[in-house]
Structure 1
Amino acid sequence: MIKKILCIVGCLLGATLQIAAQTIDSLYKEKYRPLYHFSPKEGWIGDPCGFIHYQNKYQMFWWGKVESQDLVHYQEITPFVMTGENIDMSYFTGSVAIDKHNTAGFGKDVYVAAYTIFEKETKKQMQGISFSHDGKTFQYYENNPVLDIGSTEFRDPTIFYYKPTKRWIMVVAKALEKKVKIYSSPDLKHWEWESDFGPYGDQEKSWECPDLFQLSVDGDWNDKKWVMVVSVNWAKEQYFIGDFDGKEFRLIDNHPQEPLYVDKGMDYYASRTFRDYDFTLTTTTTMGWVATWDYAQLVPSTYGKGFWSIPRNLQLKSYPEGLRLIQIPVPQLEMLRYNEVTCNRELAVGVNKVDFFTPSENSYELDLDFDVEKSNVFGVNLCVGNGRKVTISYDTDSYNLVIDRTNCTDARIPKFSRVEHAKVVPINGKLRLHLYVDKSSVELFANDGKDVFTFLTYPGVSQTGIELFALKPGTNFSFKGWMLKSVWF
C-alpha cells in the first residue's frame, strides 16, 4: 500500500514537473522572445529603475526585480516590489540605493527606492521613497512625497551618495524645460535644491531619466570626469562630459554644442548604470530599454512588451575631436559562444549569401573587419528570408553608415519602418562592426564601441539568412561568427 501511494505521489510529482518544464520551455521559446537579453516572464517592462551591485549580486528593478550573478543569466525575483501606496497614485521611473549608515532612520544597510509619484487626479509628478530590509518588498514612506514642486513634468530621480560632502544627491528631470535639477540631502527625506543643468545639446521635445556617474579617462583613474546621460524626445539618449562638486555639474572646456548621442540607433532609452555598494567592481556597467515610445506598446511579442539591452561597460577615451563615451559588451557574454566560424577574403561584387555561417535561428554574434582604403559601398544584410531583410551599409567616401529596416518584420507595427544613419569614421584604415543579433533585435558596436546602434527587428522565424554585398571590387574583410546559447534553458 505504501509503495503504491509512493508510486502515485511520484507519478503526480513527475507529471507536475513535466508540465512545469513544458511551460518554461514554451514560455522562453516564444516567437520574438530574446534568447540572451533579459525580458520578464510576462507583462510590461520599461525603464530600468535602480541598478545596484550589492551582496555579490547585480540587482535590477523595473518595480519588478531580477538578479544576476554574472550579467548573463537572470533570476526573476518578483513582478512587483512595492507595497503600501495610495490607490490614487502610480509609480514612475526611479532608482535604488543602499543606506549603509542609516541616514534615513529605516535601519543600517536598508534598500531605499526613490521614484516619481504620479498623482492620477491632478497629474502632478512628485518624488517619493520606499524602503526594504530584504530588497524584495518595499514599504511606502508614510510622509511622501519627499520632494514636490507642484509640477506635472518633474520625474525620474537617480540618487547616489556623494562622499566628499557626505550628502545624498538626486538628479531629476524637469522634462519640458529640458533641465536636470540637482538636489542634495543628509537623510533621503529632506531635499535642498543645489542647481540646474540645461538646456543644452538636443532640446527638441523633452528630457527624462537622468543619470550622473564618474568614469576614468583613457583608463587612468587619476584622471576622472563625470558623465551625465539624459533620455531625449522619447526616443534617444544624449550624454555630457563635465565636472561635479556635489552642487553643480559643469561641462568640460570645448564641449561640443551639437548633441553627443549614447546610441545612434532607433531603440535605446532610459539606461542606468550599476551603483556598486560592495565597492568591489572595477568597471562601470549600464543597460538600457530596447524600445521607442512610438511603438513600444504595439510590438507583436506575446509574453508581454519590452526587454533590456545586453550589459555594456563604459569608458571615456580621447580622440582628436575630444573625449567620447565608449561602450563595450561585457566579456562575460563570451560564455554563450559556440560553433565559431572564421573567414578572410575579398568581398565579391553584388549580393552574396554567407554560406559558411548559417544560423538556424537569430541568436548569434558577428565580428566583422573591413578594409576601407579603396572607395566602395558595402555592407551586410541580416534576418534575410521571405523577401525581407535588414540592411547595414557603409560608404567609404562619406563615412556614412546606414541602417535600413523598412522591410524587415513579418508583423504589422505602426511607425516601425525606418532608416537611420550616422557618420562613422574608420580607425587605421579599417571599419569594425561587432554585432549581437537576437530574436527581435540587433546591437551594433562600431569601431570598438565608439559608435553604437541598437534597433528592433521582429523578423519571421525563417528569416535567419546573412548576406554580404559590395558595389565594387577590392574590399577585403575578415569574418568571425558564433552561435549564442539561450540563457533560459
Structure 2
Amino acid sequence: MDIHIFIVILWVLILSGDFSDLGHVNSLLNRDKRFLKKKYRPIYHITAPEGWISSPTGFAYYKRQYHIFFQYYPYNGAWDHVSWGHAISDNLIDWIHFPTALMPKDQYDRHGCLAGCALVHNNLLTLFYTGNVISGYESLQTQNVAISSDGMFFEKYLFNPIIRESPSEIGEFRNPKVWRFRKVWYMIVGTTSRERNGQLVLYTSRDMFNWDLNGTLVNSYGDMGNMWENPDLFELDGYHVLIISVQGADSWRFRNVYQTGYILGHFNYVKSQFDDMEVSIATFNQLDYGHDFYTVKTMRAKDGRRLLIGWLGMWESEFIESSFGWASMLTIVRELRINKNGRIRMKPIEEIIQLREELIENAWYKPGEFYQAESQSFELLVNSTSVFSDVKLIFEWKFGQFVIEYSADNGYISIDRGGNDGVRRAYWSPVDYVYIRIFVDSSSIEVFCGDGDVVFSSRIYPNKIRVRIAGYSKVHIMQYKLRRSVGSDKKRRHRVNNNLINSYIY
C-alpha cells in the first residue's frame, strides 16, 4: 500500500475517531515485499495478502470502484477461522488490497465470517454474511449484516444476528444471497433438510433487517448432495439463472469432490417461487470442468454485463504453495451469456487484453514441433486449420506436464495434469475451426474453448515451460507475456487511489 491510500485511511480514521484498525493499516504498509516474493505466487490473479484464500464472498460496484471480497485466513496457508479479505479495482484487472472488511471477533461469528454477498443501497455498501460458532462437533450458523459508508471500514449491525437459526434446526445454514425486487427484499440461504438433502430456503423483508421465512424455495430430489453452498440467482438473457455449489453429489458425471453449476428457470415474484425449476443430476450443468473451481460470485456491471469470479481451488486437495505461507487464488473475471441452446457461455472479460505486455510468439506449428514459453505468466491463442483433425498441446516442465486435447472423432475436449485423477473431459463440437484461449499464471491454468463454450480451471506447479504440439492438426499460436496487475504497479495504483480520494471528496 502506498502513501496515497494511507492518507485516505488516516483521514477517515480521524473523522470517525476510531483508531482500532490503525495497527492493521500499518501491517498493510509493510507486507508488499513479502507478498511479491512468495513461491508460485501469481501476478494477475487475486490472492490473499498473507495466508489462505478460498470462496469469493461479495462482488459489487461502489463509489466508482469494483469491490471483491473473499474468505481468507491471514496467518498461514491453511484453513481456519476466516475473515473477509477485500480488494478494489477501477477496471476489473488492476487490484489493490484494502483493510480486512470483516473479522471473526463477536459472539455470533467468533469462529468465522463465512461467505454471503455485497450490495449497494442508499449509497451504503452492505455486506450479508454467515457467522460461524463451533460448539463441540456442531456448528451454529447465523445470518448477519455489516454496513459501510466509505467502502473501506464496515460496522456490524447492532442487532445481529438478523436470522438466528435454520428452519430445519440443522447447523448447516449459510451464504445468504440478497436482492431487491420492487419494494421487497429477498434472501436465499443454503441449508440441509431434515432428510439430509441440499435445499434453499427463501426469506422476505421490507426493510432489509427484519426477515420472514417464506418457505423452501428449491429442494433436492435426493441425488444432488447434502448441502448447497453459495447460492446466486439473477436474470440473464430471458432466464433466471440459479447457481449453487454442491457438496455430497455422487454421480458418474462429476469428477471433482464438489461441483459448482447452474440450472435455468423462471422465478415468479407473485408466488415467490419458481414456475419450472428442478434441481437434479439431469438438469444441473457444470460451469467449469477443471480440477479447481468451486463457489462463485456474480454481479451486474454498470454496462449491463453479468460478471463472475470464482475460487480457483478445491476442498480436500493438496495446495503445494501452503508450505510457503500462502494458498490458492481467485479466477480471472469472466463474462456470462446464454447461447441459443440454453447453455451458459463463460469467457474472459474484454478488459483482460490490457494485461498484454509483449507478443513473444506468433507462428504456425506442425505436430512434433515445440518452443520455450519464456514466461511463467502468459496468454496463449491457439487456432487450428480444421475441426476434423485432432489438436493436442502439451505443456512440459521438469517432473510434470499438462495436456490439452481436442478429439475430432469423439467430439470432446480434455485436459490431463497427470496422476491418478488427472483427466477432465467435456463434450465440445466447434463448427468451423478449433479455437482455444489459455491463461497461465505461475501456478494456475485457465482454458477457454471457442466462445467460452467449455472452460477448465486447474492448479499446476511448473518451472520453465515448453509447449509441444501433438495431434494431427497444424496450429497457429500467438503468445502474450502478461504484466503484473495485483498490488504492485505504482502508476495504476496511483490512478485507483486518486479515484478513491475523489469518491470521498465528491
Q: Do Structure 1 and Structure 2 share a fold, with TM-score over 0.5?
A: yes
Which of these residues, 433, 448, 453, is aligned with residue 450 of structure 1? Answer: 453
Does the aligned pair in 1 maintain the 2:428–2:453 contact within 8 Å?
no
Which residue in 1 is equivalent to 2:187? 170
Deviation track 1:401-458 (CA, whole Å, cap 9, x = no partner) reads: 2211126xxxxxxxxx632332332222422211111100111111210111100102
What is the CA–CA distance in structure 2 between the aligned matches of 1:214 and 1:129, rounded to whole Å?
24
Deviation track 1:375-399 (CA, whole Å, cap 9, x = no partner) reads: 54x31112x2224211112221112
Which residue in 2 is equivalent to 1:396? 408
Distance 1:426 1:477, change over 3 A: farther
| DSSP-derived class of the 1:124 partner | strand
2:348 pairs with 1:329:
yes
Which of these residues, 143, 152, 175, is aligned with residue 171 of structure 2? Answer: 152
Does the aligned pair in 2 maintain the 1:264–1:454 contact within 8 Å?
yes
Q: CA deviation at 1:334?
A: 0.6
Which residue in 2 is equivalent to 1:432? 435
TM-score, structure 2 length as denominator?
Answer: 0.78
2:113 pairs with 1:91:
yes
Alignment of 1:68-79 (within 5 A): 68-79=89-100
Does the aligned pair in 2 maintain the 1:201–1:259 contact within 8 Å?
no
Does the aligned pair in 1 maintain the 2:365–2:477 contact within 8 Å?
no
Does the aligned pair in 2 maintain the 1:82–1:139 contact within 8 Å?
no
Does the aligned pair in 1 maintain the 2:62–2:151 contact within 8 Å?
no
Deviation track 1:75-134 (CA, whole Å, cap 9, x = no partner) reads: 10113434762274431111122232xxxxxxxx23322111212225122212222222
Q: CA deviation at 1:245?
A: 2.8
What is the CA–CA distance in structure 1 between the aligned matches of 2:232 and 2:318, rounded to whole Å?
22
Which residue in 1 is equivalent to 2:81? none
- How many residue pairs end up in the alignment? 426
Which of these residues, 379, 383, 392, is aligned with residue 392 of structure 2? Answer: 379
Which of these residues, 265, 288, 291, is aligned with residue 290 of structure 2? Answer: 265
- What's the Cα RMSD here? 2.7
What is the CA–CA distance in structure 2 between the aligned matches of 1:273 and 1:481, rounded to whole Å?
29
Does the aligned pair in 2 maintain the 1:64–1:79 contact within 8 Å?
yes
Does the aligned pair in 2 maintain the 1:444–1:453 contact within 8 Å?
yes
Deviates more, 1:35-44 or 1:171-180: 171-180
Q: CA deviation at 1:212?
A: 0.8
Does the aligned pair in 1 maintain the 2:104–2:110 contact within 8 Å?
no
Does the aligned pair in 2 maintain the 1:81–1:136 contact within 8 Å?
no
Which residue in 2 is equivalent to 1:482? 480
Letter in 2 for 1:65: H
| DSSP-derived class of the 1:430 partner | coil
Distance 1:396 1:361, change over 3 A: same
TM-score, structure 1 length as denominator?
Answer: 0.80
Letter in 2 for 1:359: A
Letter in 2 for 1:304: W
Which residue in 2 is equivalent to 1:244? 267
What is the CA–CA distance in structure 1 between the aligned matches of 2:94 and 2:150, rounded to whole Å?
21
Distance 1:144 1:373, change over 3 A: closer
| DSSP-derived class of the 1:272 partner | strand
Q: CA deviation at 1:31?
A: 2.0
Letter in 1 for 2:185: W
Which residue in 2 is equivalent to 1:52? 60
Letter in 1 for 2:324: T
Which residue in 2 is equivalent to 1:17? none
| DSSP-derived class of the 1:323 partner | coil
Which residue in 1 is equivalent to 2:11? none
Alignment of 1:72-151 (within 5 A): 72-82=93-103, 85-86=106-107, 88-100=110-122, 109-121=123-135, 122-147=138-163, 148-149=165-166, 150-151=169-170
Distance 1:424 1:343, change over 3 A: farther
Q: CA deviation at 1:481?
A: 1.5
Does the aligned pair in 1 maintain the 2:221–2:279 contact within 8 Å?
no
Percent of aligned pairs sharing the same letter: 24
Does the aligned pair in 1 maintain the 2:240–2:266 contact within 8 Å?
yes
What is the CA–CA distance in structure 2 between the aligned matches of 1:22 and 1:89, rounded to whole Å?
27
Deviates more, 1:136-145 or 1:226-235: 136-145
Does the aligned pair in 2 maintain the 1:235–1:266 contact within 8 Å?
no
Does the aligned pair in 2 maintain the 1:392–1:401 contact within 8 Å?
yes
2:373 pairs with 1:359:
yes
Gaps of 5+ in 2: 1-27, 71-83, 248-256, 490-506
Distance 1:441 1:251, change over 3 A: farther
Does the aligned pair in 2 maintain the 1:83–1:140 contact within 8 Å?
no
Which residue in 2 is equivalent to 1:106? none
Bigger radius of gyration = 1
Letter in 2 for 1:244: F
| DSSP-derived class of the 1:308 partner | coil
What is the CA–CA distance in structure 1 between the aligned matches of 2:296 and 2:211, rounded to whole Å?
24
| DSSP-derived class of the 1:120 partner | strand
